[in-house]
Every structure is written in C-alpha cells, then in structure tokens.
Structure 1
Amino acid sequence: MIRRLANLRSEQGFTLFEMTAVLTIIACLLVFLLPALFEKRPDWIPLEQEVRLMEQDIQTLRLMQYSKQDQALMQFRFRGDGTGYLVLADDRLLWQRTFQNGHTCTVPPSNRIIYFKSYHSIYAATWSCRSATAEYEIKFLLGNYQMAIRKVR
C-alpha cells in the first residue's frame, strides 16, 4: 500500500487527480462567471428607460402591422405577475421583455392583451407602472395604436 501511494505522487509536477481537480474548478468558474461578463444590460435600468422601450415596441408593432398584411393576429400581451410583456404574431412569440427587479406594472385583468388589427375600439387599456422612485400611467389608444404616457411621480 505504501508503494502504491508513492506511485501516485509525482516528483516533477501535478498528479492526474490534482490536475483534473484544478481543471474542473477552472471550468466551473468559466461556466458561471462568463455569462456575467457578457451581460449587455446594465446593472440598473431606470423605469423611464423601460417605459421608452415599451413605447418603441409598440411603434415596431405598428410598423409590422402595416407592412405584414398576412399576419392576422398581433398581440401585445402583459404578464399576469407584472414583470414584463410578450409580443406575439399568430400565436408565435416574436420577442419578450422582463422588467428590472423592483419595477412592476399593474394592469386590469380584462386589459392584459392588446390586439392589433382590431379597429373596433378607440381606447384599450390603462397600465400603471411604478418603481421606488417613479410612477407612470400608460394609456394604450387603439384607434391609431399609440401610447399616451403620463408621469405621475
């Protein structure tokens, strides 16, 4: 047994077990730390910027509605938990956004989905988005697919 332990020790470097352990630790660090290095989103986004992103998404949907006549049903669907929204076309997810932690929007349950290509309504929904420092009231107007944004505080 003593001879066997002596054979595991290398006189000129690491043993196979030690090298495997070191490489495993390095691989774990790379797997868990690299996504944080390549994160494109800043650490904290103010609510105002997220509301502007929402406005850009509505404008993008307007352009898509005019340019893609083959898509019958385009939706701007708000998540029920208040943490973001989804954009769908013909029940296919186009993109989604998740709000920063601490930012939430409250939406009446009947107004969680805004349908584009529906000319029957002038006024669709009022969403209230808030964070610790700001609050916005957002009204979606369906007649011309616009958003009316009012800063409450």
Structure 2
Amino acid sequence: MMRRLENLRKSNDGFTLLEMTVVLVMIGCLLIFLLPTVIDRRPALYTLEQDIEILKQDVQTLRLIQYSKSGDQNQMQLRWKNDGKGYFIMANDRLLWQRTFQPGHSCIVPSNGRIIYFKSYHSTYASTWVCQSTTQAFEIKFLLGNYQMVIQKTR
C-alpha cells in the first residue's frame, strides 16, 4: 500500500490520466462559455428602414443644436460620403459624429446636395435622396427651411 502512494508522489515525465482529464474538462468549459461571446461580436444587421430612422433622428438633433447654439448656426452641416454609404455631422470644420450604413445600404445623393448647411431657420434648400438596399428602397425629400423630411417607401 505504501508503495502505491510513493509512486503517486514521484515526479513523472507525463501527466496522469486524472490530471489530463481535469485539464481537458477545464479547456472544454472555457470553450463552451467563451464561444458564444466570440460569435456574438459580429455587427448587428439593421434594415434600411432603421438606418433611415437614425438619419431622421440625426437631422432632429442638428435642429436642436442649431436652436441651442446660435453662434454655431452658420457652421452646422450634414456632409454625405462620396459613395453614399454614410454621412458626417460637422460643426466649425470639426467632426461631431459620423454614421455608416449597414453593408448593402446606400443613398444616391445629387452632387449639389452632398453638403447640407444648417444656416438659419429661414434657409431654403431642397434635395431628394434615393436610399436603397436589396430588399427596400426609400425616397427622401428634404427641405431645410422648415426641417421637413418626407420619407416615402418605394419598395
């Protein structure tokens, strides 16, 4: 009996079956618990309709900023990216925030309507943007004078 205990206490070149089983079970548990967090890190997919809603909220936020900061009125702008897949919100030539649409979503913006200046409440500016994805399409008519965005779902 004493011999067996001495054999267990001696240093071996390898692991015992019990030690190897414990290590493999621990690695398995780590994989089971950590794998879902790695899989969930992919970006959430929004529909085009949700991207348009975010654009609408950003325009409302610009309107509120314009009312609250009269000195920055002439410098507030919404600037579309050249590829139509997102836009920048700028004030005094500094970036406040930017949005990028989900992959596959884009807007066709006329070249004269890529930069929208929020100058004053009485500015008159109109532009029509066509935003589309593989399953949805929207036409957005924007009038700066009274900050209206008429959004029509075309597909």
2:135 counterpart (122, 133, 136): 133
- Where 1:70 maps in the other structure, the secondary structure is helix
CA RMSD between the two structures: 2.4
Judging by fraction of residues, say which structure has more helix: 2
What is the TM-score when the length of structure 1 is the normalising length? Answer: 0.72
Aligned partners of 1:36, 1:62: CA distance in 2, in Å? 39
Q: What is the distance in 2 between the residues matched to 1:114 and 1:84?
A: 14
Q: In the TM superposition, what are the counterparts of 1:1-153 in structure 2 within 5 Å?
A: 11=13, 37=40, 41-42=43-44, 44-71=45-72, 72-118=74-120, 121-153=123-155
Structure 2: distance between partners of 1:136 and 1:130: 6
- Higher radius of gyration, 1 or 2: 2
SS at match of 2:96: strand
Shift of 1:117: 1.5
Paired residues of 1:114 and 1:124 also in contact (CA < 8 A): no
Instruction: Give deviations 1:31-59, integer Å, cap 9, x for gaps.
Output: xxx887556x52x1000000000000000
CA shift, 1:145, in A, is 1.8
Shift in CA distance, 69/151, structure 1 to aligned 2, threshold 3 Å: same
Q: 1:50 to 1:89 in 2, by over 3 A?
A: same
**Unmatched runs of 5 consecutive residues or more in structure 2:** 1-11, 16-33
What TM-score, normalized by structure 2, do the two folds share? 0.71
| Long gaps (5+) in structure 1 | 1-9, 14-29
| Paired residue type of 2:50 | Q
- Distance in 2 of aligned mates of 1:85 and 1:38: 24
